[in-house]
Structure 1
């Protein structure tokens, strides 16, 4: 098995993004899904990245594969489902919070990503395993993610997760909170929004106390914070002309992981996290200046 800098697991889908902020019938179909965006961003930054996902055997799935290959992401671990379609998401105009996305993922392919189709030795030499969480409400995807984390930990791989809440996908809010808190406890690097930390009733200061866990909290256009040990680092976002916020957090995450991966052995921890946060905030701001989540760096 080839060695990968980062192995990413999670949903691949198509985002329909409005071309104008005002009420419009014009949408652009762009490949997306938080982990897919992160994989693409990491690859464009020069990292060797493998993506594990599941798409439908349909034209939308082929569009995703084509875009990822153009971005140098390894796609041979993406599973094809002959019975279930590729997930789609519509970003509604005139809305800027997490509720702007209308998701069509009832019985779609991403929830059936199978651990049995993942090669046993894929995690042997990876440095970071990054996991998306949107599909956690599906029992099959939940088990796959748990098994993959266990396999990665067995090989000493750094575990990174991106918290993506979709309350409408869960039968129980209590179950959702329980699952996400369990996942955060298993991880070394966690990214969430300020809104998500409040929804999960999480205080990042308490989570990082007494361990080496790193918590990244983004605040839309307000910038971001890193919590680790007893410290909190703050970075304000630059003022930019916002065209589309889709995928800005994913560009932020891929950039931070890239910086962490390549400079951890060179910099003292506080300097590493400070500079990494600044680099990530810049990337997130850049992503806001164009349509779609997959961007050129």
Structure 2
């Protein structure tokens, strides 16, 4: 990994919040995590969101400024509070979330500034959680229609989704990321047999919704990138690491993948895309929280140490 600035611009839409962890609060929200890593990796990425006009919101704005996340598309709400989430981590390091409703990002407003920003961006990342309330959902529907490259991060958090809204987002998307469990949910909604392989489920989903690219993540088993553009499915294994928590690992995976997928200065192979994505995801998994601090030397050292560890297996 090199420290570099790429001539690519993106926008992430949706929730920004405080994750209240057993060890203290951490900045979070899937699209915010993606924006953080994209900016760390050299892609100028705005976060389009809304916080409350309260102390929690001021703290988020101050921290995002410190983390070099652009603030020009942040909105303030005088009625609804800044979002907080209670995070519970069990003995297996699995995570359960209690997401408060309603909060400020349920009311993201639409204006000419937001429309023009999305129209000019190279890609637009949005998640399914931001569709739980009609106001933000209607804003998202308008913005998707002017976006150039539409990236859906499926993020099913019960009870904050409906099949109908997930299906609509899938119809819009160019690239979709989901995990193994979410693949199963969508396949069931489509009435696919339980006996179908994941490859058949992925193909059916891509066919039904005219999706060109689909990434399915499998945690410790790696990820598979299905592409109709290149007519292939490519599996890449995960790195073996000591897991601290899995918060934000999928978000860092998507950000790292996009930095390679959207490069305009050189051709990048699917193997290179997935290798970089799984590397950053593994680094985040063995760190605390979704947005750990790092730079190019940090990631290079992590790769080197991991290569030494894997020679033991």
Unaligned 5+ segments in structure 2 are 1-6, 191-200, 295-313
SS in structure 2 at match of 1:262: coil
Moved more, 62-71 or 218-227: 62-71
**Residue of structure 2 equivalent to 1:173:** none
**Residue of structure 1 equivalent to 2:36:** 40
| Contact 2:170-2:211 within 8 A present in 1 as well | no
Matched, 1:158 2:149: yes
**Residue of structure 1 equivalent to 2:245:** 244
- Residues 213 and 97 (structure 1 numbering): CA distance in 2 closer, same or farther, change over 3 Å? farther
**TM-score normalised to the size of structure 2?**
0.81
**Residue of structure 1 equivalent to 2:304:** none
**Residue of structure 2 equivalent to 1:233:** 234
| Contact 2:11-2:124 within 8 A present in 1 as well | yes
1:151, 1:34 → 2: CA distance? 22
Where does 1:155-234 land on structure 2 (aligned, <5 Å)?
A: 157-170=148-161, 176-201=162-187, 203-209=201-207, 213-229=212-228, 230-234=231-235
- Residues 124 and 186 (structure 1 numbering): CA distance in 2 closer, same or farther, change over 3 Å? closer
From 14, 19, 44, the counterpart of 1:15:
19
Matched, 1:284 2:270: no
Number of aligned residues: 273
1:6, 1:197 → 2: CA distance? 26
Matched, 1:112 2:107: yes
SS in structure 1 at match of 2:51: strand
| Contact 2:9-2:44 within 8 A present in 1 as well | yes
Where does 1:25-174 land on structure 2 (aligned, <5 Å)?
A: 27-94=23-90, 100-104=96-100, 106-116=101-111, 118-152=113-147, 157-170=148-161
| Contact 2:33-2:290 within 8 A present in 1 as well | yes
1:252, 1:290 → 2: CA distance? 14
**Residue of structure 1 equivalent to 2:256:** 255
**TM-score normalised to the size of structure 1?**
0.85
| Contact 1:31-1:63 within 8 A present in 2 as well | no
1:38, 1:261 → 2: CA distance? 15
- Residues 97 and 289 (structure 1 numbering): CA distance in 2 closer, same or farther, change over 3 Å? closer
- Residues 56 and 148 (structure 1 numbering): CA distance in 2 closer, same or farther, change over 3 Å? same
Q: Deviations over 1:31-86 (max 9, x none)?
A: 10000000010001111111100111122212221222122211121111111111
- Residues 291 and 280 (structure 1 numbering): CA distance in 2 closer, same or farther, change over 3 Å? same
Unaligned 5+ segments in structure 1 are 19-26, 171-175
